[in-house]
Structure 1
Amino acid sequence: MPIVWNLKKWLAVERDIYRPSELQALLVEKVGVQLSLQAISSLINGKPSALRLQTIQALCNALDCQLSDFCEVLPDTHKEQLQKRSESNNNPKRLYGDKQITTDQENLFPDPRKYKSHEG
């Protein structure tokens, strides 16, 4: 699914903001939210792979805008949808990657049935 992320351009054109520190100061002043310069720089300089709703809300409040002002989510073309379906052999796939648990992988919590009770 094509996602068009134009935050950097939108900030420059609509709000005259060019540096992460300027956006950071605006977030603190208008919303009372502190994001690290690294997090803000990542938002400005590239399309995020994940974004919390609270962060979107803080940006929209500070900038007095809507998400659609700097981000568009477009559906795949019909051809792309057909290609993805044929690649998966019409079997659904996990959206966030496959969970593969091997039998030799130790579980975080051991199976309590493997241990004998020490009642005396």
Structure 2
Amino acid sequence: MLKSEDLDRVFHALSDASRRAMVERLVRGPASVSTLAEPHAMTLSAVVQHLAVLESAGIVESQKVGRVRTFQLVPGALEPAGGWIGGQRLPAERRLDRLGAHLDADG
């Protein structure tokens, strides 16, 4: 079971649009820092800071070969967040279904 602070780190990491874009790029496969930086109007240093947030949250991992640092997604890292979101959605949907049935019965 994922601890609350781990889930907080994942959601914090995903709260930034640039980091989400980097995760979306990494879905296609590993990429170097410079490749991940290409579509963003920011310095390599800023990109590295964003990647450090993702790595600290356990979403990505990196390895350095020579002067090139390559990042990849950690398999299954986003599943706990998806599970938590799904768990919140189902009760709300059931309440809306009951409200819809109630409104249909009255109408």
Higher relative contact order (CA 8 A, sep 6+): 1
TM-score normalised according to structure 1 size: 0.24
Larger Rg: 1
TM-score normalised according to structure 2 size: 0.26
